[in-house]
Amino acid sequence: MAGLTVAIYVVVLLTAVLYSGALTLRAIFGLRLETAVWLIAAVATAYTF
């Protein structure tokens, strides 16, 4: 049960961070929302590895 709770928390948190970050990039740089989400995900992946 604890594992399920952590998994749900991570999915909800990740979605919220990607969406809010994409909104910010759209407001500042005028990027499309989908492009901004992929950009944030790519940068986070590169930073993680």
Confidence of residue 8 (pLDDT cuts 50, 70, 90): very high
Cα separations in angstroms, 37 against 3, 4, 7, 10, 12: 26, 25, 20, 16, 15
For residue 20, report the phi and psi dihedrals to the nearest 5 degrees. Answer: -65, -40
Q: What is the rounded average pLDDT of the residues 21-49? A: 96
The pTM of this model reads: 0.81
Residue of 6, 4, 39, 3 whose CA lies nearest to 23: 39
Provide the token pair at 44. 């986070």
Say what the pLDDT of residue 3 is: 93
pLDDT digits (tens, 9 = 90+) for 9-31: 999 999 999 999 999 999 999 99
What sections of the chain are H helices per DSSP? 2-29, 33-48
